[in-house]
Every structure is written in structure tokens, then in C-alpha cells.
């Protein structure tokens, strides 16, 4: 696992294209992990897949890391978690990934262990992507799922919020 400092974004699981979903489902059958690539490249590919400007995302993360000591990046395989720590013991998590659902679930479980060791007592994230909800439900992890609205871009959108007590 690589650790550096974090920033902001929505969850990196795309439901935009069925081709991505079908490819991910096919890859899920393979247990072979892909070769680990650089953090910036994972963020870039995830942003492109989700219809965001990768350069804007990378610049935003860089600025946040420079101005906020509570921002950290943690990489597990080809999944990057952006952690925004709210002292003393809460963390908002944003996910960037190029991995299949099975690997993402594995890394979510690893993230829970990492956060607990770091003294985090509660972690939360949100997503407007139904596939992320399916992943969380399949994981078997004790994550509370609620519906709310959140500012995403220039509009308020309905989202699922995921909260886990560690």
C-alpha cells in the first residue's frame, strides 16, 4: 500500500457505460491482479471514465494536499483512496480505481483495517452510482447505507451515503 496526502472527488466506479460494467464483470472472474500503476495514472483513467477532466481533478488534489494536512492518498493495488480526515477520528473517503469489482471489495476491506489502525472511528463516502451500492452490499461489510442529496458539480443530486463505524 502506498500512502501520501489526499483531496476531493466522487467515487470512482462508473455506471456510465454498460461496456465498462460488462468488462469489469468479465475481469471479476479473473483473480489475477493487474500490474500496479502510478497513483496519478489511476486517478487520470478513473476521471476520464467518469466524464471528468483528469487535469482538473489532479490539480484540485494537489492544491488540497498543499493546503490541508488532513488530506491523504492511500493506494492499494490499482485503487486510490482520497482520505479527508476530520479530527479527531472521522474520515471522508473518495475512491479512484481501474480495477474489477472483486479487487475493489478486497481493497475496501483493506482500507477499513488501515483506517482503524490510524485511529479513525468512522469513515463515510457517497456515490450516485448504483453499481457502488451493489459492491458495498456484496462486500458483507458492516456499512450503513442511506439516501441523501449532495452537490455534485453544479447541481444537487440524489446520492447514497455509506457510513462505517470502525
| Higher per-residue pLDDT: 80 or 26 | 80
By residue range, what is the domain housing residue 75? 2-165
Q: Which residue has the cell 489526499?
A: 6
State residue 26's pLDDT score. 52
Confidence label for 9 from pLDDT (cuts 50, 70 and 90): very low
Q: What is the largest CA-CA distance in the chain?
A: 42
Which of these, 131, 81, 70, 86, lies nearest to 109 by C-alpha position? Answer: 81
Q: Which residue has the cell 477499513?
A: 112
CA separation, residue 99 to residues 2, 17, 33, 126 (Å): 16, 15, 8, 19
Q: Backbone dihedral region of 89: left (phi > 0), alpha (psi from -120 to 50 degrees) or beta?
A: alpha
Confidence label for 153 from pLDDT (cuts 50, 70 and 90): confident
State residue 2's pLDDT score. 54
- Please tell me the pTM assigned to this model: 0.78
CB distance 125 to 138 below 8 Å:
no
CB distance 14 to 96 below 8 Å:
no
Handedness of CA 7, 11, 16, 18 (dihedral sign): positive
Number of domains in the chain: 1
State residue 14's pLDDT score. 39
What the block records as the C-alpha cell of 85 is 480526515
Q: Which residue has the cell 442511506?
A: 146
Determine which of 8-22, 81-95, 108-122, 136-150 has the lowest per-residue pLDDT on average: 8-22
User: Element (H or E) spanning 114, and its range?
Assistant: helix 101-117
CATH number of domain containing 131: 3.40.630
Q: Per-residue pLDDT tens for 122-151?
A: 999 999 888 889 989 988 999 999 999 998
Amino acid at each position: 500500500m502506498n500512502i501520501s496526502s489526499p483531496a476531493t472527488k466522487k467515487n470512482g466506479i462508473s455506471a456510465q457505460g454498460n461496456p465498462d460494467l460488462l468488462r469489469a464483470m468479465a475481469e471479476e472472474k479473473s483473480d489475477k491482479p493487474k500490474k500496479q500503476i502510478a497513483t496519478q495514472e489511476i486517478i487520470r483513467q478513473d476521471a476520464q471514465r467518469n466524464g471528468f477532466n483528469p487535469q482538473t481533478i489532479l490539480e484540485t488534489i494537489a492544491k488540497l494536499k498543499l493546503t490541508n494536512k488532513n488530506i491523504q492518498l492511500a493506494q492499494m493495488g490499482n485503487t486510490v483512496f482520497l482520505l479527508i480526515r476530520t479530527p479527531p477520528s472521522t474520515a471522508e473517503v473518495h475512491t479512484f480505481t481501474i480495477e474489477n469489482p472483486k479487487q475493489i471489495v478486497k481493497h475496501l476491506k483493506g482500507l477499513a483495517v488501515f483506517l482503524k489502525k490510524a485511529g479513525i472511528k468512522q469513515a463515510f463516502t457517497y456515490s450516485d452510482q448504483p453499481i457502488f451500492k451493489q459492491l458495498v452490499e456484496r462486500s458483507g461489510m458492516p456499512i450503513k447505507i442511506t439516501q441523501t442529496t449532495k452537490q455534485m458539480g453544479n447541481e444537487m443530486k440524489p446520492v447514497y451515503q455509506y457510513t462505517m463505524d470502525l
